[in-house]
């Protein structure tokens, strides 16, 4: 039987993910968003114009779920959907000015959560943590697990 200090790394990551998601959910609700909508806005800001499938993949949801997420954000005026200039079946999604404003305000609040989470780590430890997490992600993606 393992002690809490010997718990699986995957369990600790899961607990961290749930804690972060809970805190982010409280923040995004204050801006009239879900965590999934905030994620989609962040991805669009970082990547620019994307298709529904691309945005879904980068936001960790299915294309069907992204359609529902986008309906609400289009209705709220945070994103626009327009047909691709050369590929009629592809719809391009982009942030609107309102979406950019909402994202900036959410980002400031989300930054406070991240600073609280990492507050006891040195700058070097933060950098190393990021490197280690990226390495774990790459290992799983490379091996298809």
- Asked, for residue 121, whether it belongs to a domain, the answer is no
Contact of 78 with 38, CB cutoff 8 Å: no
Please name the residues in contact with 22: beta carbons below 8 A apart, sequence gap of 6 or more: none
What sign does the CA torsion over 13, 16, 114, 111 have? positive
Tokens describing residue 67: 């359609």
- Asked, for residue 145, whether it belongs to a domain, the answer is no
- DSSP structure class, residue 6: G
How confident is the model over 7-17, as pLDDT tens digits?
789 899 999 99
CATH code of 108's domain? 1.10.10.10
- Asked, for residue 15, whether it belongs to a domain, the answer is yes
95: left (phi over 0), alpha (psi -120 to 50) or beta: beta
- Asked, for residue 125, whether it belongs to a domain, the answer is no
Q: Mean per-residue pLDDT for 42-68?
A: 93
- Asked, for residue 133, whether it belongs to a domain, the answer is no
- Asked, for residue 105, whether it belongs to a domain, the answer is yes
- Asked, for residue 144, whether it belongs to a domain, the answer is no
Contact of 83 with 50, CB cutoff 8 Å: no
Structural domain total, the chain: 1
pLDDT at residue 25 in the model: 95
pLDDT, mean over the chain? 91
pTM of the model: 0.83
How confident is the model over 63-99, as pLDDT tens digits?
999 999 999 999 999 999 988 777 777 889 999 999 9
The pair phi, psi for residue 120, each rounded to 5°, is: -95, 0
Q: Mean per-residue pLDDT for 127-132?
A: 96
Q: Identify the burial level of 46 via C-beta atoms within 10 angstroms of its C-beta, where 0-12 means exposed, 13-18 middle and 19 or more buried.
A: exposed
pLDDT at residue 7 in the model: 73
Comparing CA positions, the residue from 28, 59, 67 lying closest to residue 42 is 59
- Asked, for residue 21, whether it belongs to a domain, the answer is yes
Supply the range of the domain harboring residue 94. Answer: 4-114
């Amino acid at each position: 039987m393992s002690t809490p200090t010997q718990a699986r790394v995957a369990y600790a990551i899961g607990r961290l993910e749930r804690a972060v998601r809970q805190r982010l959910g409280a923040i995004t609700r204050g801006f009239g968003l879900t965590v999934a909508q905030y994620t989609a806005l962040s991805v669009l800001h970082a990547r620019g114009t994307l298709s529904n499938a691309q945005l879904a993949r980068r936001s960790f949801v299915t294309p069907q779920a992204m359609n529902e997420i986008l309906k609400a954000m289009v209705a709220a005026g945070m994103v626009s959907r327009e047909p691709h200039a050369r590929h009629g079946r592809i719809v391009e999604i982009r942030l609107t000015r309102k979406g950019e404003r909402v994202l900036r305000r959410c980002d400031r609040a989300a930054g406070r959560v991240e600073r609280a989470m990492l507050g006891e780590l040195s700058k070097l430890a933060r950098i190393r943590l990021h490197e280690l997490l990226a390495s774990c992600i790459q290992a799983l993606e490379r091996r298809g697990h």
